[in-house]
Structure 1
């Protein structure tokens, strides 16, 4: 367990990469929003709403209202798809943020070629003896198939706030209702990752809520995106991270939880809840 700080530091360093070569800063309606790849720029350069300078690419004039931005970004998504630049069309809208403002909605698959900010929420779930729940991603997943992940997690879509996103993912991926999550922390932002991907640039805030599940809780996947749910010791989780069996995002979430000792603080709260009085809590 002494290797956790060094392992965490190495992973932190690996997620801070500069934008892909020849990418340019991207503004939408006059606000800095992302970094567009050369391939994406070539595909949309002909659009009247796109203006290109030596130092940046600008989509839509400053102050363009949402009712104009939404269809414009929908058209851009289709153009990128038809150009073969999107990984997997999801038919799911995400919020487009620029300088902290919610500007519009856009197809999820188009976020990376434009280097737009996304938000990923994770439930880091513990047993009362401070072992970890982890979930194996189905082989049909477009990203990291067959790797282990936190019990529940995913991107917040454009129709929900972050708290609702976490509860939705927890229900879909672990079959757990909100009333089981009585001992958990509020969502907190761990970090913002910047990674070069084949399809573009990942700019993503990673948020986590740690939770101790009661002994009667039985996580069970509901959406077919998880092939197995397992309980592992903290030592096993660290070894799996070192062996790269756990996704990068999940590894950061899990290691940070161990370093911050959040679960130990939660355990005191869990034991104090009347419904948990008398439960065995032998710490591993």
Structure 2
């Protein structure tokens, strides 16, 4: 890893997917080069297939599927036929250009069969499929026994819409239909290219020096060496996924207690929402992870007892915490020592606190806009 990564380099590492759709029957990630020996494939990257909720042409598109997953879903249907079970998947993969009349025939895609018409039915189908893949170690590097999280993530028809749930606790007032469409095992989400959601919080303090200049220090944890993803990397003070059915802020309160031994009363009193970042990350193994992270700040109040805000390891996910000055933070960022999405949260913090500005950063506007990706979502639906 380079020891002189720029802020834009750090964003490129995390937001590393670019979707291109030159024709309705083509959809691919131009940044992922699948075959350096084949110039045509190298130019176009890996072809992807939209994952629709149901066979209807008006169905929401909820994910993107790699060819290896599409082939596996074809085998899943064959297995269902052999066991005299209803098929789960509709594989609409034969695009006939002669039948295309200005959008009357939709693009190639995969969807649930129409009988899977409720969140509970889809959830059950995904649970059986993913647990069987786990037990057979089919995709062992993603959702095998050592990667399995035993945590359900919510999937939504509109990834930018309301984060509701069938229990009604999160349903937006006045909505007639849930945005929630099913839930699935956290570790398997990247296999289906669905959007996932998390919370990230920074505990920091700012001190005004004798010269009138502000200095920043942020509490930074080191991830446990036993973590299934990015072991030993640096992280944000508190971070975690949003479990299905739990409100965003309550997820943060839970993570603060579990990861950093922070009391709920302190969190509820002092934490403030600071927006969100989003990015489309492809893992080193090629799996697709479009993600939204809701960002929170906990500035240590001037004159407050700092021990109330000092995070301490509480579970097996964090090795230690260190209060890092801004200079050390930037040094470790440029060395690539932070988990990729955590680097983006810190860059966002630097911008909001005025440490990265249009006057000191030539890539300022590129950085600001790249922190809020829409995953080329309009291309998924075309």
Please state which band the TM-score falls in when normalised by the shorter chain. 0.7 to 0.9
Question: Is residue 2:67 matched to residue 1:38?
Answer: yes
Which one of the candidate residues 85, 89, 104 is aligned to 1:50? 89
* Contact 2:236–2:342 (Cα < 8 Å) also in 1: yes
Which one of the candidate residues 97, 102, 117 is aligned to 1:64? 117
> Which structure 1 residue ranges, 4+ long, deviate > 6 Å from structure 2?
none
Q: How does 1:91-102 map to 2 (within 5 A)?
A: 91-100=150-159, 101-102=179-180
Q: Residues 195-249 of structure 1: CA distance to partner in whole angstroms, max 9, x if unpaired?
A: 2442620110122101113412231111111001000101110110001111111
For residue 83 of structure 1, report the CA deviation from its aligned partner. 4.9
* Contact 2:221–2:320 (Cα < 8 Å) also in 1: yes
For residue 92 of structure 1, report the CA deviation from its aligned partner. 1.1
* Contact 1:24–1:36 (Cα < 8 Å) also in 2: yes
Task: Please identify the structure whose Cα radius of gyration is greater.
Answer: 2
* Contact 1:8–1:255 (Cα < 8 Å) also in 2: yes
For the residue of structure 1 that corresponds to 2:307, the secondary structure is coil
Could you list the runs of 5+ residues in structure 2 that have no partner in the other structure?
19-28, 33-45, 78-86, 94-107, 160-178, 208-215, 356-382
Question: Is residue 2:176 matched to residue 1:84?
Answer: no
Distance 2:298 2:250 in 1: 16
For residue 262 of structure 1, report the CA deviation from its aligned partner. 7.0
* Contact 1:43–1:79 (Cα < 8 Å) also in 2: no
Which one of the candidate residues 266, 274, 292 is aligned to 1:205? 292
* Contact 2:200–2:238 (Cα < 8 Å) also in 1: yes
Distance 1:153 1:52 in 2: 37
* Contact 2:235–2:339 (Cα < 8 Å) also in 1: yes
* Contact 2:116–2:122 (Cα < 8 Å) also in 1: no
Aligned-residue CA RMSD in angstroms?
A: 2.3
For the residue of structure 1 that corresponds to 2:8, the secondary structure is helix
For the residue of structure 1 that corresponds to 2:193, the secondary structure is coil
Higher alpha-carbon deviation: 7-16 or 220-229: 7-16
* Contact 1:44–1:79 (Cα < 8 Å) also in 2: no
Q: Which residue of 1 aligns with 2:104?
A: none
* Contact 2:259–2:317 (Cα < 8 Å) also in 1: yes
Q: Residues 62-82 of structure 1: CA distance to partner in whole angstroms, max 9, x if unpaired?
A: 881122111111122124323
Distance 1:253 1:153 in 2: 10
Q: TM-score, normalised by structure 1?
A: 0.84
Distance 1:175 1:34 in 2: 36
Which one of the candidate residues 120, 138, 157 is aligned to 2:243? 157
Could you list the runs of 5+ residues in structure 1 that have no partner in the other structure?
264-284
Distance 2:284 2:117 in 1: 30
For the residue of structure 2 that corresponds to 1:204, the secondary structure is strand
Question: Is residue 2:147 matched to residue 1:108?
Answer: no
Which one of the candidate residues 279, 289, 297 is aligned to 1:192? 279
Distance 1:9 1:206 in 2: 18
- 1:207/1:197 CA distance change after superposition, 3 Å: farther
For residue 176 of structure 1, report the CA deviation from its aligned partner. 0.3
- 1:78/1:44 CA distance change after superposition, 3 Å: farther
* Contact 2:119–2:180 (Cα < 8 Å) also in 1: no
Q: TM-score, normalised by structure 2?
A: 0.63
* Contact 1:44–1:76 (Cα < 8 Å) also in 2: no
